[in-house]
Structure 1
Amino acid sequence: MAKRPNPRAIKAARTYTIEEAAQTLGVTTGTIRSWVKSGLPLMRSRRPFLILGDDLRGFLEDRAKRRKAPLQPDQLRCFTCKVGRTPMGLMVDCIPQTPKTARLLGLCEVCGGTCNLMISQTKIDHYSQIFEVAIKEGR
Structure 2
Amino acid sequence: MAARRAGPNSVKLNRTYDVAELAARLGVHKNTVRHWQRDGLKPLDSGRPVLFHGATVRAFLSSRSASRKSPCPPGTLYCFKCRSPRSPALGMVDYIPINATGGNVRAICAACETVMHRRAAKASLATILPGCDVQIAQAPPRLKGSPSPSLNCDLERQATI
What is the DSSP-based 3-state SS (H/G/I as helix, E as strand, rest coil) of the residue aligned with 1:54?
helix
Compare 77-86 and 125-134 and name the one that shifted more.
125-134
> C-alpha displacement at 1:70, in angstroms?
3.0
Percent identity of paired positions between Structure 1 and Structure 2:
33
> C-alpha displacement at 1:66, in angstroms?
1.8
Larger radius of gyration: 2
Work out whether residues 74 and 129 of structure 2, in 8 Å CA contact, stay in contact via their aligned partners in 1. Answer: no
The answer for the alignment partner of 1:10 in structure 2 is 11
Q: Residues 121 and 26 from structure 1, CA distance in 2 versus in 1: closer, same or farther, beyond 3 angstroms?
A: farther
Aligned residues: 139
How far apart, in 2, do the equivalents of 1:105 and 1:39 lie?
A: 40
Unaligned runs of 5+ in 1: none
The answer for the alignment partner of 2:81 in structure 1 is 80
**After superposition, where does 1:1-139 map in structure 2 within 5 Å?**
3-43=4-44, 45-124=46-125, 130-136=131-137, 137-138=139-140
Compare 52-61 and 10-19 and name the one that shifted more.
10-19
Query: What is the Cα-based RMSD across aligned positions, in Å?
Result: 2.7
Q: Which has the higher contact order (CA 8 A, sep 6+)?
A: 1
Q: Residues 53 and 112 from structure 1, CA distance in 2 versus in 1: closer, same or farther, beyond 3 angstroms?
A: same
Q: What amino acid is the match of 2:108?
A: L
Q: Residues 69 and 2 from structure 1, CA distance in 2 versus in 1: closer, same or farther, beyond 3 angstroms?
A: closer
When normalised by structure 2's length, the TM-score is 0.70
Unaligned runs of 5+ in 2: 143-161
When normalised by structure 1's length, the TM-score is 0.79
> C-alpha displacement at 1:109, in angstroms?
2.2
Work out whether residues 74 and 130 of structure 2, in 8 Å CA contact, stay in contact via their aligned partners in 1. Answer: no
Q: What amino acid is the match of 2:49?
A: P
How far apart, in 2, do the equivalents of 1:35 and 1:111 lie?
A: 35
Q: Which has the higher helix share?
A: 1
How far apart, in 2, do the equivalents of 1:115 and 1:60 lie?
A: 29
Work out whether residues 41 and 60 of structure 2, in 8 Å CA contact, stay in contact via their aligned partners in 1. Answer: yes
